[in-house]
Structure 1
Amino acid sequence: MTPTSPLTLRDRWALYLDLIRWSRPQGWLLLLWPTLAALWLASDGIPSVHMLAVFTLGTILMRSAGCAVNDVADRDFDRHVQRTAQRPITSGRLSVKEALAVGGVLTLASFALVLTTNVRTIAWSVGALAVTILYPFTKRFFAMPQAVLGVAFSFGIPMAFAAVQDQVPPVAWWLVAGNLAWVLAYDTEYAMVDRNDDLKIGMRTSAITLGRFDVAGVMGFYALCLACWWQAGQLLHLGWPWSLALGVAAAQAVWHGWLIRGRERERCFQAFRLNHWLGLTVWLGAVLDRALAALPPVGA
């Protein structure tokens, strides 16, 4: 295909999939695991098929829509960053209007799923959309935009409780705080990859703000994350599976710290990409804990 030849339907579809990072599922997995963990805990280990479908598909759709919004907002910056210069919008292969249309369709599809829940969950979804749209623009003026991303990536937790229990209990906020700290940890690793490019173009990131304390900051965020999730387990009287999962997650966090200690681009990116395994570990801890709790006592 030459630069002037018209795009076939197959070519355009490939660009849409590239726009929403379909070949890189780590992004939506990072969003999915804490949402599913909250859903399992909110439903005491027995989520309905309806809720599983709503939150799994909704998570994938909204993360994909967020990618489209992010690329539109960052298109003038991305061309100066080695890792992002060939994204569909930045490279000119996809127009801004077309990308916004894709994002709009995905958002509407996600909202249609939320409409099958309850009023409280619908209200939370409106807030989630607002923060998702706001996040890309905070990179221009906020010292740690990763915190805003953390808020956006945490909305699934109160939404899960709202959908199942029609309330957001105090324990949900410990899960939210832990997730916010986790996002700060892994997205700072991500920002360490682009630090030199971001400095040149005036982008704000946590990696730049933390400076030479970036590695210590990442490990502090991991520690805060696990402490908050441990406290959530205490409030819910979770047992050894949850504690074991947090222990395995802590070991993974230590490994990430080892990877990023030298601040090499590839190792920082590797650490970021491995984080979905940490999220999976915590979700499995919630699943196993609730499954064992549902078993009848021995000898009953």
Structure 2
Amino acid sequence: MNETTNHLKKSVADAVSGHWVDTRAPEWLRPYARLARWDRPIGWWLLLLPCWWSVALAANLAGGAVNLWHLLLFLIGAVAMRGAGCTYNDLIDRDIDAQVARTRSRPLPSGQLTVKQARIFLLLQALTGMVVLLQFNRFAILLGLGSLPIVAVYPFMKRITDWPQIVLGLAFSWGALMGFAARFGALDQAAPYLLYAAAIMWTIGYDTIYAHQDQEDDALIGVRSTARTFGASSQIMIGLFFAGAVLFAALAIMASGGGIYAALGLTGFAVHLGWQVASLQPGNAERCLMQFRSNRNAGLLLFAGLVLETLI
């Protein structure tokens, strides 16, 4: 019993050392911040970027400027809903997380927060996201609510399918539709659907890289993922999904009337994804995490090109 307790304390200490939430946040807030992953912003970046792509492409299609208010709203919403999603996922997976080396130090399996506290925090984050959503038009509000069933079922997918990353892609890429809905109050163009397909393929690719960190633990406890499914073919499969992301993004840009600057952003995006595939080391957990996080930069390269297209 003492050995287990000491191991748990060490895991918690290792997990929190060096994070900004442990140097700047009040003591009582730190477990909540870790539950929402405020100290790991890559998650909300990856949720946000399809929203920003959509805002920029919608502006190009409309022949106007990028809506800065929409960019800000999506930023706030992405942080709130990513935190809510992590909280919900950890509530569902708390027993599994306790069996995985990388996740057993999270606030719920380590006992830093109770289930009741996590549920209240989940509600507060969801309410924040709802306040943001209500700033948009009626169609965008209904569309945003339409993503909730996908978000709700995602934590269970790793138990019943070898392809849970597809469901994650459906949820995390929803913002590719939202920017167009916020601008036009409808989805009657091809561009948002093409962009949604691009974002889904991108998500499957980068989350497969992420899943390579947990392959051994996942195999022991029966958690399924594309990383385990692809096995030795993982590099090829990730390359195919990334290629699909580039192709569909190109088609979305063409459907929106994009030009040279959008093409340059797409080129930067494609080169970055190509580098990830070429240098992938599935057995190197540290490198997989680094490459997963680098997808923020890949997404920002595409966004920069789309914005420039509306300015020049």
Q: Taking structure 2 as the reference length, what is the TM-score of the superposition?
A: 0.88
Which whole-Å CA distance do the structure 1 matches of 2:282 and 2:227 have between them?
14
The count of corresponding residues between Structure 1 and Structure 2 is: 286
In structure 2, what is the equivalent of residue 100 of structure 1? 119
Extract unaligned runs of 5+ from structure 2.
1-8, 10-24
In structure 1, what is the equivalent of residue 3 of structure 2? none
Which whole-Å CA distance do the structure 1 matches of 2:110 and 2:134 have between them?
36
Which whole-Å CA distance do the structure 2 matches of 1:124 and 1:252 have between them?
31
| 3-state secondary structure, aligned to 1:117 | coil
Asked if 2 retains the 8 angstrom alpha-carbon contact of 1:259 and 1:271, the reply is: no
1:262 to partner: Cα distance: 5.0
In structure 2, what is the equivalent of residue 85 of structure 1? 104
- Residue identity opposite 2:156 in structure 1: F
Match of 1:15 among 31, 47, 52: 31
In structure 1, what is the equivalent of residue 215 of structure 2? 195
| 3-state secondary structure, aligned to 2:279 | helix
The reply on whether 1:178 has 2:195 as its aligned counterpart is no
Residue by residue over 1:88-120, the C-alpha shift from the partner in whole angstroms, topping out at 9 and shown as x without a partner, is 011111111211211111111111121121221
Asked if 1 retains the 8 angstrom alpha-carbon contact of 2:59 and 2:310, the reply is: no
Which whole-Å CA distance do the structure 1 matches of 2:150 and 2:119 have between them?
17
Which whole-Å CA distance do the structure 2 matches of 1:64 and 1:28 have between them?
8
- Residue identity opposite 2:184 in structure 1: Q
Asked if 2 retains the 8 angstrom alpha-carbon contact of 1:161 and 1:167, the reply is: yes
RMSD: 1.7
- Residue identity opposite 1:171 in structure 2: A
Which whole-Å CA distance do the structure 1 matches of 2:65 and 2:115 have between them?
42
Residue by residue over 1:223-271, the C-alpha shift from the partner in whole angstroms, topping out at 9 and shown as x without a partner, is 0000000111111221111111121112211221233245311111111
- Residue identity opposite 2:44 in structure 1: W
Match of 1:273 among 274, 293, 300: 293
In structure 1, what is the equivalent of residue 148 of structure 2? 129
- Residue identity opposite 2:183 in structure 1: V
Residue by residue over 1:145-180, the C-alpha shift from the partner in whole angstroms, topping out at 9 and shown as x without a partner, is 111111111111212211110111211000000000
The reply on whether 1:36 has 2:56 as its aligned counterpart is no
Which whole-Å CA distance do the structure 1 matches of 2:282 and 2:222 have between them?
24
- Percent identity of the aligned residues? 35
Asked if 2 retains the 8 angstrom alpha-carbon contact of 1:226 and 1:250, the reply is: yes
Which whole-Å CA distance do the structure 2 matches of 1:197 and 1:25 have between them?
24
Asked if 2 retains the 8 angstrom alpha-carbon contact of 1:259 and 1:267, the reply is: no
Which whole-Å CA distance do the structure 1 matches of 2:115 and 2:144 have between them?
25
Which whole-Å CA distance do the structure 2 matches of 1:84 and 1:212 have between them?
25
- Residue identity opposite 1:142 in structure 2: T
Asked if 2 retains the 8 angstrom alpha-carbon contact of 1:259 and 1:268, the reply is: no
Which whole-Å CA distance do the structure 1 matches of 2:166 and 2:176 have between them?
16
Asked if 1 retains the 8 angstrom alpha-carbon contact of 2:66 and 2:307, the reply is: no
Match of 2:178 among 159, 162, 165: 159
In structure 2, what is the equivalent of residue 298 of structure 1? none
- Residue identity opposite 1:31 in structure 2: L
Which whole-Å CA distance do the structure 1 matches of 2:282 and 2:152 have between them?
34
In structure 2, what is the equivalent of residue 6 of structure 1? none
Asked if 1 retains the 8 angstrom alpha-carbon contact of 2:81 and 2:126, the reply is: yes
The ranges of structure 1 where at least 4 consecutive aligned residues each deviate by more than 6 angstroms after the TM superposition are none
- Residue identity opposite 2:155 in structure 1: P
The reply on whether 1:140 has 2:156 as its aligned counterpart is no
**Alignment CA distance shift 1:262-1:68 (3 Å):** closer
Q: Taking structure 1 as the reference length, what is the TM-score of the superposition?
A: 0.91
| 3-state secondary structure, aligned to 1:125 | helix
Which whole-Å CA distance do the structure 2 matches of 1:49 and 1:219 have between them?
34
Extract unaligned runs of 5+ from structure 1.
4-8, 293-300
